[in-house]
Structure 1
Amino acid sequence: MTVLTMSRPEIDRVHVLKDLVAERITVREAAQLLRITRRQVFRLLKAYRDQGPAALISKKRGKPSNRSYPPVLRSEALALIKANYADFGPTLAAEKLSERHGLHLGVETVRRWMITDGIWQDRRQRLKPVHQPRYRRECVGELVQIDGSEHWWFEDRGPQCTLIVFIDDATSRLMYLRFVETESTFDYFHAARTYLEQYGKPVAFYSDKHATFRVNKVGATQGDGMTQFGRALHQLNIDIICANAPQAKGRVERANGTLQDRLVKEMRLEGISTMEAANAFLPAFIEDYNRRFAKAPFSDRDLHRPLNEHDDLDDVFAWKEERTVTYNLTLQYDKVMFILEPNEITRPLARQRVTVYDYPDGRFEIKHKGICLPYRIYDKLRQVDQAAIVENKRLGPILAYVAERQKELDMKRSQKAPRRQGQGKSIFKVG
């Protein structure tokens, strides 16, 4: 018994020709059903009577198309894709084959070749990633998940803002909450410092890939690869771990969802519409939340480490950047020129590296090997009329006025002085 593989149009032709042989339909009707000419019907009928249904099977089946590309060209294209464009999509790979190698291929042709060769998967073959649950950490302070949740926390009563959330992985206990205008390094400085002063140093913080926690610039080669926040934690011997996906830090993500429901409604009932009032309300809310939702840890050990005398939090949570001192004992920081006061310490520092300390409260210090250097700010807007004509007996009052004016300008922070997001009000200090 011979089994024939036929397409649906070929099977339909067999049925029509059977009816034609049995004289149930005419040649004209057969031509209309098959949508071919009478001459073609007679040709198919003769082949069917001589060879049977096998005569209706296409002779091109199993043979390469006359319009197909040569096998050598296909092998060359796939070799180039594997060597140079293995992670490219078919569209981009086809563009690069044309631009750089002179192989002008259709996108669908490249897609089909890549799928057949296993380099690319179509959408039906791609499976969604599976995020299986993991066990909690065993001890309090072993891992603290941190995140910022931007939301309309005050609904239509106030502006959109961000809630910084610290949650313990072992217990799902809210450790710290604070409303801020937006996520910034100085806001996380303030949050981390408050946390450390209250609980001590945890083993690690677990965050997303926000620029505060991770250098995201591709190809960054300068610096030590740490952000300001990462440098501060490294100085305190605290690890920072960045999650690849939101599902990896699911505890804080689920807590954000709960807070966006419960906290919003609680503040609505209390009539809270400002960040100041909301931050004052948070301690009571945290206590009630933890009483309802916190879990008991697997172990009674608390892995928080106390702060010691070497942990200078003022120094740790300052924005630090290195600058090179010029031969004129000047340096630039955030579009502002600082002039070092000449003395026995600063004079040898020409072409040496110094560190600018920008504190969250607005203070500045310039240090070299831990020694604070005296400085002043050069203000280009401050000018004295060099051509003013003053009578000799009025020279004293004029000089007194100029000196007082210079003192005011030195002690008051210039509008051009550096300001960073999240810093408090300026407490500018010279030297």
Structure 2
Amino acid sequence: MVQIHKKFNNDQVKDLLRHYVEQKIERKYLQEILGIKKRRFFHLVKEFKKDPEGFSICYSRNKPTRKISKDLEKNINRELQMEKSLIENPNTPVKHYNYSYIKDILEQDYAQKVSLPTIIDRAKQNNCYFPRAKRKVHDREVLTNYPGELIQHDSSHHQFSPYAADKWYLITSLDDYSRFILYAILVAKETSWEHILALEYVLCNYGVPLCYYVDSHSIFRFVQGRDSFWRNHYCLTDQINPQLDSFYNKRSSLSEISKSNKRK
């Protein structure tokens, strides 16, 4: 129900009701202006007719606003402080927090019910509120038209559980159009074989996509070191063929050719 005192002051409502009583305006127009139902409208008209001068839409509360108990207040603050230490851990990949979790904990562990806005209000009062970070604008956007057009493959290294001692690698493959997770696994060590197994699972169960995208992690690309089996960037002293050696080699080969011609 619309609270009239938030939209109109007392004199404005009295003036509108006076026009209705004097039959200068129809009821349906007044209801539309005030934003109230028929029953509420006639209740106001009845009160106005009783005392036109003393009529008022302002009211005072007979009871104070509801307050939560001290025990509930204490439990909310305890849970907020506990979650704050976990969220502020730099090793935990948490960018925002769902305060409905604390609401569920209070009901399950303490048998106490409280509204979600109350929990968020206490979080702001105790410096435990974590607003959602503003997302960065994507300068590159891939538009897909149907499932299977593009599969995104990725891996990330985080401490996924605040109670875990080590970090884990999360390897995932998801369809770009439907955002359906085709493959996901946590591994202690990232190897090329783990990604090959992920690729095998996706292709065998969902077919070959039109495009397969990976990011720029080093495990997805060929990184050329100083020397490798594929290419030598720096040759050792014995591997260098200087111009003087090539000159002597050519000279010796020419002398051998001339000697062979003389013998003939």
Normalized per residue, the structure richer in strand is: 1
| TM-score relative to the length of structure 2 | 0.36
Higher helix share: 2
Q: TM-score by structure 1 length?
A: 0.24
